[in-house]
Structure 1
């Protein structure tokens, strides 16, 4: 489990914990966050449980004071780690939750020997991913009604982080 404290925030802000999903209860929390963000909020898809890649991927759950607040997933394909389903509930955005999720997924990918991390970023989040070291690749495209951009992080030039 990863525990990160946002050092830019008030000392009274609770720690963000990110852990691998290992129980049915955790997986239900992941699906609930996906449904809230990708179905209800963004009207992107109602099929948040029907992704066959979930069976062979690492899903993570971010919590604050044991409350599920965010999720993300990474799937290995050879030397590439593909990140998907990164979501943070509205009231917890801009508090370091997304960064904690991504850092956890990136570290795990490095530990598995991945050379690259790729993702399809919603364009409103491009700067967020750039701050993590991702670079845009190719043309923008639409998934549903939301514009996306493929992005890549080259782990070969990134130092290992504990």
Structure 2
């Protein structure tokens, strides 16, 4: 299981660690309009799944903006999903204020379905730990990063490279 800290304090992750080569686990999260979204809703596309503790923090804001900017270069056959436990209403408001239009923000607040399926739910905080998953168009996981200190940035370049490689 991935070992992470949050503000240097060790945290317990709930669920199963996902590894490269695994079939991506399905999940059910909520879109900003409260409609359910699953992994299968984007079947046939390469998925970059960016996981953040809360969009209302500097690092999470920067991470989501970075992938929103990268969307154009990645093409229409790539879907970028940002998953957090923020309420769908807060995600929608944040996206409007930040001008985010190429990333779909999704809320796992209701069931922790994504958090448990991908082993990113922080037991002590009921937040998701910062992580990145790339899933190819055949639902195979091709890249995983569990950021060891949840308040730090992921490796953006490696994630973007992994998306480009998964498309080929």
TM bucket (normalised to shorter chain) is 0.3 to 0.5
TM-score using structure 2 length: 0.31
Q: More strand by proportion, 1 or 2?
A: 1
Higher Cα radius of gyration = 1
TM-score using structure 1 length: 0.32
Higher relative contact order (CA 8 A, sep 6+): 2
